[in-house]
């Protein structure tokens, strides 16, 4: 029996958005990295396969390795997962600057949609921060020349909630749906024997996409339209009138990764962001508390909630992050039992939406005050991790960075830079104070033979401090690196393969110590 609903229905679905043509291609990709933090850790392997709009292969797959720089320590746990040691990356890879140049050239081919599994949260961040660290534009490949990006994981979550037919859905130990790639491939007979190898993950993601597209073609096509931020925003306007479904890990498996949201306002400082209200939450906190108190509750640690208050239920939906959403009208197509499973508080949600509508002026005022005061990204003292701290670069700084980077590439290949001044750090003046450090470190990591005596001294001092004390208190030091190796050796003492990897990592760390003696 179909479910009847009482929210104001969405307008007829727009047929605009990014439509794939025969000229568009998908670039299925995956990174393996030396750590779990894409803002600070480095890639060690990249794999990619291009397909046409029908998901048929175009050309040959690629797998590339990146050499680790000698100011950086890999996380031993990451090496145990991937099986990639620094020694292997050094032997089979190339300097990170050349590695990223090739990656970005591949991603920047006109009409490319770069896609992965959980890529918006991880792989895309690896691309952005690695591009930034190597003086490339971190964003251009995402939108120039008709390009876009896409992430399969939330499409899978949406399919599980709305159109589960045609796919076998594995469960975790708690009996909840599991969206881990290796669990989904196993449940659906997809080859994935080398999980955490970049090329194996690419092939598994593509196979899962083919299965999903075959089982639910209309849902897959709808998801692709959501790559267009303008299309997304059009589905949410006007505010306060239309509830919609949103799918993501932030709502938890206990809620089927599903929320019913109502848009409240465009973010006062981020025009591509819509502030919404999660109708799973009572609006009393939002209405009763001051904006200062609401801002505090938004960031209060979970352990301090409860007797200290409740979250206000505000959600920021960023239109350029390909959010998976669906109009509330789709509930009419689902069996009543399924609607009750997805939204057990549906009657209460209707009431909450009416309360918000009745208090629209107050809610709009609160939202405006909260998000004008909202804390920004945590400031990073490390230039390489500060991508989101300083805003977009000026065109003059961007031009100087490009000239510096391309000039060093030219010199390394026996050519000449466009001008002598373009590669002279003493003559380059940037308006963004982060860039001088970025340029020196880029040169040292990738073209160390070109360092002047003064530059070499600055780099050696920086490298010593980083290896001894870390960066932003969030990277490994030599001491914590060796401590981690000792602990993992005890934990995995019966696993000969892992012990071999840990021994290689110990040798690598000892070689770095030898290089910086007697300072260490």
Domains in the chain: boundaries: 18-227, 236-373, 410-516
DSSP 162-202: H--TTS---B-TTSSB---HHHHHHHTT---TTTTSHHHHH
Q: How far apart are CA 220 and CA 215, in angstroms?
A: 9
**Mean pLDDT, range 286-315, rounded to an integer:** 88
Triad 207, 212, 217: Cα angle to 5°:
130
Share of the chain above pLDDT 90, in %: 84
Residue 3 has pLDDT above 70, yes or no: no
Give the model's pLDDT for residue 375.
65
Is 53 within 8 Å of 137 (Cβ atoms)?
A: no
Mean pLDDT, rounded, for 249-278: 95
Q: Given a cut of 80, is residue 10 above it in pLDDT?
A: no
Q: pLDDT tens-digit profile of 148-157?
A: 999 999 999 9
Structure confidence by residue, pLDDT tens digits, 379-408? 677 999 999 988 899 999 999 999 999 999
Closest CA to 283 of 362, 356, 354: 356
Angstrom distance (rounded) from CA 192 to CA 200: 6
Residue 126 CA to residue 136 CA, distance in Å, equals 13
Q: Which residues have CB under 8 Å from 182's CB, separation 6+?
A: 192, 195, 204
Average pLDDT over the chain, rounded to whole?
93
Span 487-503, average pLDDT: 98
Q: What is the mean pLDDT of residues 465-470?
A: 94
pLDDT band at 429 (very low <50, low <70, confident <90, very high): very high
What are the pLDDT digits (tens) for 232-253? Answer: 999 999 999 989 999 999 999 9
Evaluate whether 345 touches 256 at the Cβ level (below 8 Å).
no
Instruction: Please name the fold of domain 236-373.
Output: PX Domain (3.30.1520)
- pLDDT at site 462: 96
Q: What average pLDDT does the segment 117-137 reach? A: 98
Residue 199 has pLDDT above 70, yes or no: yes
Q: Two tokens at 316?
A: 């920021």
Residues of the chain with pLDDT > 70: what percent? 94
Q: Binning pLDDT at 50, 70 and 90, where does residue 66 land?
A: very high
CATH superfamily of 18-227: Ribonuclease H-like superfamily/Ribonuclease H (3.30.420.10)
18-227 against 236-373: fold identical:
no
Tokens 């959980």 locate to 118
Amino acid 19: pLDDT = 60
Q: Global pTM?
A: 0.93
Three-class SS state of 259: strand
* CA-based torsion, 26, 324, 169, 81: positive or negative: positive
The helix-helix angle for 124-133 and 96-107 (nearest 10°) equals 130
């Amino acid at each position: 029996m179909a479910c009847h609903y009482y929210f104001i229905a969405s307008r007829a679905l727009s047929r605009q958005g990014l439509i794939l043509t025969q000229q568009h291609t998908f670039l299925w990709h995956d990174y393996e990295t030396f750590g779990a933090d894409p803002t600070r850790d480095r890639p060690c392997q990249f794999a990619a396969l291009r397909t046409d709009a029908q998901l048929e292969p175009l050309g040959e797959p690629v797998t590339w390795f990146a050499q680790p720089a000698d100011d950086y320590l890999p996380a031993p746990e990451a090496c145990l997962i991937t099986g990639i040691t620094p020694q292997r990356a050094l032997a089979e890879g190339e300097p990170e600057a050349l590695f990223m140049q090739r990656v970005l050239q591949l991603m920047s081919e006109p009409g490319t949609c770069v896609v992965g599994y959980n890529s918006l949260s991880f792989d895309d961040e690896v691309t952005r921060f690695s591009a930034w660290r190597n003086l490339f534009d971190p964003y251009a490949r995402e939108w120039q020349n008709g390009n876009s990006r896409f992430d399969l994981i939330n499409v899978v979550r949406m399919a599980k909630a709305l159109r589960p037919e045609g796919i076998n859905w594995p469960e975790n130990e708690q009996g909840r749906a599991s969206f881990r790639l290796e669990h989904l491939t196993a449940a659906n007979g997809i080859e994935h024997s080398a999980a955490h190898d970049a090329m194996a993950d690419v092939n598994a993601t593509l196979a899962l996409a083919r299965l999903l597209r075959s089982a639910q073609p209309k849902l897959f096509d709808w998801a692709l339209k959501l790559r267009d931020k303008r299309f997304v925003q059009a589905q949410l306007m006007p505010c306060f009138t239309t509830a919609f479904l949103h799918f993501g890990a932030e709502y938890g498996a206990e809620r089927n990764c599903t929320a019913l949201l109502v848009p409240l306002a465009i973010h006062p400082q981020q025009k591509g962001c819509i502030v919404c209200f999660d109708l799973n939450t009572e609006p009393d906190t939002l209405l009763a508390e001051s904006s200062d108190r609401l801002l505090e509750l938004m960031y209060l640690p979970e352990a301090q909630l409860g007797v200290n208050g409740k979250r206000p239920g505000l959600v920021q939906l960023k239109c350029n992050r390909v959010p998976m959403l669906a109009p509330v009208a789709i509930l009419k197509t689902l069996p009543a039992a399924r609607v009750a499973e997805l939204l057990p508080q549906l009657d209460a949600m209707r009431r909450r939406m009416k309360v918000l509508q009745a208090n629209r002026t107050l809610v709009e005022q609160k939202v405006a005050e909260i998000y004008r005061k909202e804390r920004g990204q945590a400031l990073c003292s490390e230039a390489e991790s500060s991508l989101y701290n300083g805003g977009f670069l000026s065109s003059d700084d961007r031009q100087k960075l490009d000239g510096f980077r391309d000039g060093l590439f030219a010199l390394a290949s026996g050519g000449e830079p466009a001008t002598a001044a373009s590669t002279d750090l003493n003559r380059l003046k940037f308006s963004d104070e982060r860039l001088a450090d970025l340029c020196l470190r880029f040169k040292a990591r990738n073209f160390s033979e070109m360092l002047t005596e003064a530059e070499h001294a600055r780099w050696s001092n920086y490298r010593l401090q980083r290896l001894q004390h870390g960066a932003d208190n969030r990277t490994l030091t030599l001491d914590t690196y060796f401590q981690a190796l000792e602990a993992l050796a005890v934990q995995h003492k019966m696993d000969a393969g892992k012990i071999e990897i840990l021994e290689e990592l110990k040798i690598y760390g000892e070689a770095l110590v030898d290089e910086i003696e007697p300072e260490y």
